[in-house]
Chain A
């Protein structure tokens, strides 16, 4: 079983819609959770971090964490074509400073 799992996609949403990206993790002791955005040919860019159960909002982005169910999600409201990218979920499970990354979900926002 992979430690951090994401649906590879592609997830296609129309412009202006809400995009919902999901991530599940296997280690119940995981403490910190991050979302990275990676445009094609570019490096991963940190866009959200979440540490406590519930929602955390930053502009059009909302991260949601449910530790009991071991999932973390990223909602993108009013999706724009510029949001088209691969979104990587990363989890800190303790032990050093390592993050475990999922394989990413490709998002396509269509006009």
Chain B
């Protein structure tokens, strides 16, 4: 059963702390996306990769957020320092990429910054 996995599922941290979220895309998928979802803003694209190369991170606050793909089985999203306004659900999604634009979402990381 191929699924996107994300860790941790829940994270509560204090303002100013570093937060790292991890994602394992579906094996064989070559595109990976990071989204943030809040009630007010809906689903926002933060960054995405194709074949591990970052293609677009224009949705990310550059001063505090960073996204990487150290290898084909791991994508990371870091926030440093975290702020209360970063509280949201962060989703990772992956897609086959080649001639297909479908995306499959992981279960998400619910982040609360106090």
Contacts and interface: CB of A to CB of B under 8 A. Distances in A.
Interface of A: 32, 34, 36, 42-46, 49, 88, 90, 92, 96-99, 101, 103-104
Interface of B: 31, 33, 42-43, 45, 48, 50, 55-56, 91, 95, 97, 101-108
A88 B105 CA distance: 13
A92 B101 contact: yes
7 contacts: A34-B101, A43-B106, A44-B91, A46-B103, A90-B103, A96-B50, A101-B42
A45 B4 CA distance: 12
Given A96-B48, A104-B42, A46 B107 contact: no
Contacts, number: 43
Given A43-B91, A104-B42, 9 more contacts: A44-B43, A46-B103, A46-B104, A49-B102, A88-B43, A96-B48, A97-B97, A98-B33, A99-B101
Contacts of B95: 97
Nearest to B41: A103
Contacts of B107: 42-43
Contacts of A96: 48, 50, 55-56
Contacts of B91: 43-44
Contacts of A45: 105
B56 A98 contact: yes
B43 A97 contact: no
Contacts of A49: 102
A97 B105 CA distance: 15
